[in-house]
Amino acid sequence: MKLDEKVVSFFESCNSPVDKEGYLSKKGELKTSYQKRWFLLKGNLLFYKERPGEKDVIGVIVLEGCTVQLCESEEQFAFSLVWSEPGLRTYKFAAEDQASQESWIKALLSASHSYLALLVVDMEKQYRDALVSHPSEGHRPFTMPNFHSAGPNYPTTSPSTNISIRSSFAGQCVGPGASLSSNQMLQPSNISAARAVSKKSPKLWPKKNSSMVPVRTPALPMFECSGLYLDPEEDFIKLHEDFGREVKKLIADWSRKRGGGEVGLEETLIDFG
Amino acid sequence: MRFNEKELICLSRQPSEMAAELGMRGPKKGDVVKKRLVKLVVNFLFYFRTDEEEPIGALLLEQCRVEREDTQIFSIAFLDEAERKYLFECDSEEQCKDWIDSIIKASYEFMRRNLIFYRTEIHRLTGKDPLEQYGISDETRFQGNSGSQLVARDTSSL
pLDDT digit string, tens, across residues A181-197: 344 444 444 333 334 34
Nearest to A189 among B105, B119, B135 (CB): B135
Kindly tell me the sign of the dihedral angle through the C-alpha atoms of A60, B148, A116, A84: positive
> What residue of B is the nearest CA neighbor of A123?
B118
- The alpha carbon of residue B140 is apart from the nearest alpha carbon of chain A, in Å, by 6
Interval B97-122 mean pLDDT: 95
Confidence of residue A94 (pLDDT cuts 50, 70, 90): very high
Query: Which pLDDT score is estimated for A203?
Result: 42
Please tell me whether residue B11 adopts helix, strand or coil conformation. Answer: helix
Q: What is the percent of chain A where pLDDT is above 90?
A: 40
Confidence of residue A244 (pLDDT cuts 50, 70, 90): low
Picking from A105, A72, A67, A74, the residue whose alpha carbon sits closest to that of residue A194 is A105
Q: Are B14 and B41 in contact (CB under 8 A)?
A: yes
Confidence of residue A201 (pLDDT cuts 50, 70, 90): very low
**Quick check: B113 and A150 CB within 8 A?**
no
Picking from B48, B11, B43, the residue whose alpha carbon sits closest to that of residue B110 is B43
**Quick check: B62 and A43 CB within 8 A?**
yes
* B72-102 residues labelled b (16+ CB within 10 A) or e (exposed): bbbbbbbbeeeeebbbbbbeeeebbbbbbbb
Confidence of residue B111 (pLDDT cuts 50, 70, 90): very high
Interval B102-122 mean pLDDT: 95
Q: Say yes or no to pLDDT of B1 above 60.
A: yes
Interval B109-127 mean pLDDT: 94
Q: Say yes or no to pLDDT of A111 above 90.
A: yes
Q: Say yes or no to pLDDT of B121 above 60.
A: yes
Q: Say yes or no to pLDDT of B49 above 50.
A: yes
Q: Say yes or no to pLDDT of A105 above 60.
A: yes
CB-CB neighbours of A65 under 10 Å = 25
More confident residue, A217 or B9: B9
**Quick check: A123 and B119 CB within 8 A?**
yes
Interval A170-180 mean pLDDT: 34
Mean pLDDT, chain B, whole residue set: 89
* HSE-up of residue A255 (Cα within 13 Å, Cβ side): 13
Nearest to B3 among A60, A189, A222 (CB): A60
Q: What is the percent of chain A where pLDDT is above 70?
A: 49
- Per the rule left: phi > 0, alpha: psi between -120 and 50, beta: everything else, B145 is alpha
Best A56, A115, A119 residue to mutate vs chain B (most B CBs within 10 Å):
A119
Question: What letter would DSSP give residue A15?
Answer: S
Strands (E) in A83-141, as ranges, are: 90-94
Task: Give the best-scoring range by mean pLDDT among A26-30, A157-161, B121-125.
Answer: B121-125
> What residue of A is the nearest CA neighbor of B96?
A158
Q: What is the dihedral of CA B106, B112, B117, B121, to 10 degrees?
A: 110
Nearest to A215 among B17, B97, B130 (CB): B17
Confidence of residue A257 (pLDDT cuts 50, 70, 90): low
**Quick check: B130 and A113 CB within 8 A?**
no
Residue count (chain B): 158
- Quote ipTM for the complex: 0.89
More confident residue, A133 or A255: A133
Query: Which pLDDT score is estimated for A172?
Result: 37
- The alpha carbon of residue A259 is apart from the nearest alpha carbon of chain B, in Å, by 28
Picking from A208, A42, A28, the residue whose alpha carbon sits closest to that of residue A118 is A208
Q: How far apart are CA A80 and CA A182, in angstroms?
A: 31
Query: Which pLDDT score is estimated for A73?
Result: 81
Within 8 A by CB and 6+ apart from B122, the residues are A123, A126, A127, A130, B128, B129, B130
More confident residue, A209 or B15: B15
Residue B21 phi, psi (nearest 5): -85, 120
Please tell me whether residue A117 adopts helix, strand or coil conformation. Answer: helix
**Quick check: A3 and B57 CB within 8 A?**
yes
**Quick check: A147 and B65 CB within 8 A?**
yes
**Quick check: A113 and B43 CB within 8 A?**
yes
- The alpha carbon of residue A96 is apart from the nearest alpha carbon of chain B, in Å, by 21
Confidence of residue A138 (pLDDT cuts 50, 70, 90): low
Query: Which pLDDT score is estimated for A190?
Result: 37
**Quick check: B7 and A2 CB within 8 A?**
no
| Cβ contacts from A onto B, under 8 A | 245
B86 to each of A144, A170, B2, how far by Cα in Å? 22, 30, 23
Q: Are A130 and B124 in contact (CB under 8 A)?
A: no
Nearest to B4 among A62, A126, A142 (CB): A62
**Quick check: B1 and A59 CB within 8 A?**
yes
- The alpha carbon of residue A266 is apart from the nearest alpha carbon of chain B, in Å, by 21
Q: Say yes or no to pLDDT of A119 above 80.
A: yes
Using a CB-CB distance cutoff of 8 angstroms, which residues of chain A are in contact with residue B120?
A: none
> What residue of A is the nearest CA neighbor of B85?
A7
- The alpha carbon of residue B34 is apart from the nearest alpha carbon of chain A, in Å, by 16
Query: Which pLDDT score is estimated for B135?
Result: 80
Per-residue pLDDT tens digits for A31-55: 789 999 999 999 999 999 999 989 9
Query: Which pLDDT score is estimated for B152?
Result: 55
More confident residue, B130 or A215: B130
Interval A86-114 mean pLDDT: 94
Mean pLDDT, chain A, whole residue set: 68
Q: How far apart are CA A216 and CA A218, in angstroms?
A: 7
More confident residue, A56 or A215: A56
Confidence of residue B140 (pLDDT cuts 50, 70, 90): confident
Q: Can you name the residues that pair with B66 across neighbouring β-strands?
A: B76
**Quick check: A7 and B5 CB within 8 A?**
no
Per-residue pLDDT tens digits for A139-156: 566 654 444 433 333 333
**Quick check: A218 and B139 CB within 8 A?**
no
Nearest to B121 among A45, A127, A189 (CB): A127
Interval B65-78 mean pLDDT: 95
